[in-house]
Amino acid sequence: MNKSITKFTLFFALLGIAFLSSGTMASNSVDYYKELFRSWNLTIDTIETQEDTAGINYVVEPPENVNTIGADSYLLLLSSQKLSPGFSYRNIILICDTDDLLNSALPAPCTYTTLRDINFSLLKPDESITSNILGEVIRPVVVGGVTYYVVPEILLVTPEYRLKLGNYFKALADADKVTLERGGALSKTPVFDTVDKLRNSSILEGSIYAFALLTVVLLAGRLLVLLGSRSRSNFTKELFVVVYRRPLNFIRKNFDVIIFIFFIISTLYIPIIYALGVRGALMGDSGYAASYILNTLNPTNFPQVVMSKNIFKLGFLGYNYILGIFAVLVTLPSFISIIGNSVNKFRAFSLKNDFIKWAVVAVMWVTTALLAFVEVENMISFLIGSLSFLMLSLVYMRNRKIVLVTLFNKKEGSIIIASMVLTLTLNITYPIYLNGTPIKYSHEPLIGLNKEIVLFPYSKKWGKNVLFRPHFYNGISKVFADGYLTYNQGAQKIINRPLSAFEDSGNFAIISGKIEPTIEILLRNPGILPLIQSNSFSTIFSFADFAGQQAPRIELAIICTANPEPATINLEIYSLGRDEAEQNAIITESIEILKFPGCSSSDGTKIFEVPLGMPPLHENFVIARVVGTEPSIFLEVKLVTGDTEIPLTFLNKDILNENKYSILYQTPGTAKFITSYSADVEKEFPIDVKTTEEGFDLSAPINELMKMGVLNNPFIIWTDQGIEVIQR
DSSP readout, 458-480? EEE---TTEEE---EE-SSS-EE
110 vs 639, which has greater pLDDT?
639
The proportion of the chain whose per-residue pLDDT surpasses 70, expressed as a percent, equals 73
Lowest-pLDDT range, 121-125, 208-212, 508-512, 627-631? 208-212
Spatial distance between the Cα atoms of 612 and 618, rounded to a whole number of angstroms: 17
> For residue 533, what pLDDT band results from cuts at 50, 70 and 90?
very high
With a CB cutoff of 8 Å and minimum separation 6, the contacts of 62 are: 47, 84, 87
CA of residue 203 relative to chain centroid, distance: 31
Spatial distance between the Cα atoms of 692 and 343, rounded to a whole number of angstroms: 70
Spatial distance between the Cα atoms of 91 and 107, rounded to a whole number of angstroms: 13
So what's the pLDDT on residue 374? 73
So what's the pLDDT on residue 468? 93
pLDDT over threshold 60, residue 49: no
Region 182-189: mean pLDDT is: 39
| Residue 656 contacts residue 650 (beta carbons within 8 Å) | no
| Residue 717 contacts residue 178 (beta carbons within 8 Å) | no
Spatial distance between the Cα atoms of 35 and 635, rounded to a whole number of angstroms: 33
Region 164-169: mean pLDDT is: 87
In terms of C-beta density within 10 A (0-12 exposed, 13-18 middle, 19 or more buried), how is residue 85 classed?
exposed
Spatial distance between the Cα atoms of 250 and 269, rounded to a whole number of angstroms: 27
Q: Which of 636, 637, 666, 628 is nearest to 512 (CA)?
A: 666
CA of residue 557 relative to chain centroid, distance: 29
DSSP code for 352: -
Q: Which of 154, 155, 158, 108 is nearest to 134 (CA)?
A: 155
So what's the pLDDT on residue 588? 86
pLDDT over threshold 50, residue 253: yes
Region 69-76: mean pLDDT is: 69
* Host H or E run for residue 172: helix 159-176
| Residue 551 contacts residue 636 (beta carbons within 8 Å) | no
| Residue 185 contacts residue 630 (beta carbons within 8 Å) | yes
pLDDT over threshold 50, residue 246: yes
480 DSSP β-pair partners: 485, 718
* Host H or E run for residue 303: helix 302-307
So what's the pLDDT on residue 616? 62
pLDDT over threshold 80, residue 537: yes
So what's the pLDDT on residue 72? 67
DSSP string, 24-90: HHTS-HHHHHHHHHHHTT-EEE---EEE-TTSSSEEE---TT---B-TTEEEEEETT--PPTT--BS
Region 671-680: mean pLDDT is: 92
295 vs 608, which has greater pLDDT?
608
| Residue 676 contacts residue 508 (beta carbons within 8 Å) | yes
With a CB cutoff of 8 Å and minimum separation 6, the contacts of 435 are: none
pLDDT over threshold 80, residue 640: yes
DSSP string, 554-577: EEEEEEGGG-PPPEEEEEEEEEEB
> For residue 638, what pLDDT band results from cuts at 50, 70 and 90?
very high
So what's the pLDDT on residue 431? 73
So what's the pLDDT on residue 19? 44
Spatial distance between the Cα atoms of 677 and 496, rounded to a whole number of angstroms: 6
Spatial distance between the Cα atoms of 587 and 322, rounded to a whole number of angstroms: 56
Spatial distance between the Cα atoms of 600 and 605, rounded to a whole number of angstroms: 10
Spatial distance between the Cα atoms of 284 and 275, rounded to a whole number of angstroms: 14
Spatial distance between the Cα atoms of 315 and 301, rounded to a whole number of angstroms: 15
Check residue 313 and give left, alpha or beta (phi > 0: left; psi -120 to 50: alpha): alpha
Give the full edge-to-edge strand order of the sheet including 586-596.
586-596, 567-576, 621-627, 540-544, 649-650
Check residue 596 and give left, alpha or beta (phi > 0: left; psi -120 to 50: alpha): beta
pLDDT over threshold 90, residue 290: no
Spatial distance between the Cα atoms of 170 and 173, rounded to a whole number of angstroms: 5
Q: Which of 559, 643, 555 is nearest to 594 (CA)?
A: 555
Lowest-pLDDT range, 211-215, 330-334, 531-535, 722-726? 211-215
Other CB atoms within 10 Å distance of the CB of residue 652? 20
Amino acid at 210: A
So what's the pLDDT on residue 9? 46
Between the ranges 238-242, 363-367, 595-599, 632-636, where is the mean pLDDT highest? 632-636
Q: Phi then psi for 362, rounded to 5 degrees?
A: -65, -45
pLDDT over threshold 60, residue 86: no
| Residue 80 contacts residue 57 (beta carbons within 8 Å) | yes
The dihedral through the CA atoms of 243, 245, 250, 253 has a sign that is negative
The proportion of the chain whose per-residue pLDDT surpasses 90, expressed as a percent, equals 16
The dihedral through the CA atoms of 51, 52, 57, 63 has a sign that is negative
pLDDT over threshold 90, residue 685: yes
> CA torsion angle for 356, 361, 367, 370 (degrees, to 10)?
-130
Q: What is the pLDDT of residues 586-631, one digit of tens each?
A: 888 888 888 888 887 777 888 898 888 776 665 678 899 999 888 8
So what's the pLDDT on residue 20? 46
Between the ranges 35-44, 374-383, 508-517, where is the mean pLDDT highest? 508-517
Region 334-352: mean pLDDT is: 73
